[in-house]
Structure 1
Amino acid sequence: MRWLLLVLALFALPAMAEVRDPASHFFMPKLGDFKGDLDAARQEGKVGILLMFELDDCPYCHRMKATILNQSEVQDWFRQHFLIYTVDAKGDTAMTDFNGKDTTEKAFALEQRVRATPVFQFYDLTGKPTARFTGATQSKEEFLLLGRYVVEGAYKTMPFNVYKRQAGK
């Protein structure tokens, strides 16, 4: 009888969201040419490019990856709308910025005024910065709302906190 109750209890539990490695399911492999990535984003029908500026020892970056960016729902939704890359805010890796200028990740982060991490910076299909969120979101729902804020173009008329309040979050 106990066995039957255990089986029934397991079926009554809500389905858990699938958890996947964000390195391979959220972020795209970097080629280091953001100008070229703009062309790819346009060809793929994306809204733009999302960069996550991070540091290896950043606890908030790790928390985002371990609790939000690893969720299949988040990964699938963001990959549908954006090309997504990481940028090491102290990295010496060579790269090409959105204007075709050769630089390093560290110099690019400074140019983008990254002072704390994580920074989620969205860019439109011309390479122009649109919306920015510094720090870790409170939840998966808030991060998805941030994405919708950009996709819907609400960043053009209101700050994210107003959009979030209007959405009842």
Structure 2
Amino acid sequence: MRRVMFTVAAAATAMVLAVMPLAAAELGDDGLHKTAWMRDTFKDLREDLAEANADGKRLAIIFEQRGCIYCKQMHEEVFPDLEVDSFIHENYFVLQMNMFGDVEVTDFDGEVLPEKEMARKWGLMFTPTMMFFPEEVPEGVAAPQAAVAVMPGAFKKGTTLAMLRWVVEKGYETDEPFQKYLARQLSQ
């Protein structure tokens, strides 16, 4: 009887944990949210792309800034969702960059700039902004030209998860634009 009760209790606990979101990310010393799936690298995009490929993952960059209410929303409402969190863990090599940071970044084209100047070079104006990259980037190409998709701003779980899947499925190589893919995913 104890074994049956233990099994029932274990199953109930597993069901509760399966629907409970993860805790929101902690704030780092730089004021940005930190998650377990963010990678701490030297921010040389060529090296990071090679490491992502070696791990069988897609390279993504998320630009954020201290005090960003939309970044907070993503880290409290979207990223902690178990389905989103698991998908990112399994499929992405994610770099976090600070829109106003001073950490040096080496672009795919070899140019080295602080994060804030790289954000300007790339024409980024909103946080959060996620950039997604192909497995191969031709020599001399900068990140904005190499990106297969850019997601500027905060979106709810459905749109975010659809974008993550569309990139992994290489939807950008098909005739179905993301907007139609999203509509199809949300109607299922």
Corresponding position of 2:64: 54
Gap change, CA 1:70 and 1:31, over 3 Å in 2? farther
Residue 101 of structure 1 pairs with residue 104 of structure 2: no
Corresponding position of 2:54: 43
Residue 161 of structure 1 pairs with residue 170 of structure 2: no
User: What is the TM-score of this pair, normalised by structure 2?
Assistant: 0.74
> Relative contact order (alpha carbons < 8 A, sep ≥ 6): 1 or 2 greater?
1
Q: Is the 8 A contact 1:121 1:131 kept in 2?
A: yes
Q: Partner of 1:75: helix, strand, or coil? A: helix
Number of equivalenced pairs = 157
Q: Mean alpha-carbon deviation: is it higher for 66-75 or for 52-61?
A: 66-75
Corresponding position of 1:124: 134
Gap change, CA 1:25 and 1:73, over 3 Å in 2? farther
Q: Is the 8 A contact 2:37 2:93 kept in 1?
A: no
Deviation at 1:18, TM superposition (A): 4.3
Residue 148 of structure 1 pairs with residue 165 of structure 2: yes
Deviation at 1:37, TM superposition (A): 0.6
User: What is the TM-score of this pair, normalised by structure 1?
Assistant: 0.81
Q: Is the 8 A contact 1:26 1:70 kept in 2?
A: no
Corresponding position of 2:22: 19
Runs of 4 or more above 6 Å deviation: none
Deviation at 1:137, TM superposition (A): 1.1
Q: In structure 1, give the amino acid aligned to 2:147.
A: P
Q: Provide the C-alpha distance between the structure 2 equivalents of 1:31 and 1:131, rounded to a whole number of angstroms.
A: 23
TM-superposition CA deviations, 1:83-103 (whole Å, max 9, x none) = 101111111211212233211
Q: Is the 8 A contact 1:51 1:122 kept in 2?
A: yes
Deviation at 1:40, TM superposition (A): 0.6
Gap change, CA 1:168 and 1:24, over 3 Å in 2? closer
Q: Is the 8 A contact 1:38 1:98 kept in 2?
A: no
Corresponding position of 1:7: none
Q: 5+ unaligned residues in a row in structure 1: which ranges?
A: 1-10
- Aligned CA RMSD, in angstroms, stands at 2.2
Identity across matched positions, percent:
25
Deviation at 1:72, TM superposition (A): 3.5
TM-superposition CA deviations, 1:51-86 (whole Å, max 9, x none) = 111111210011101111123432221122121011
Q: 5+ unaligned residues in a row in structure 2: which ranges?
A: 1-11, 26-33, 138-145
Gap change, CA 1:60 and 1:161, over 3 Å in 2? same
Residue 31 of structure 1 pairs with residue 42 of structure 2: yes
Q: Provide the C-alpha distance between the structure 2 equivalents of 1:80 and 1:111, rounded to a whole number of angstroms.
A: 30
Q: Provide the C-alpha distance between the structure 2 equivalents of 1:137 and 1:110, rounded to a whole number of angstroms.
A: 23
Q: Is the 8 A contact 2:132 2:149 kept in 1?
A: yes
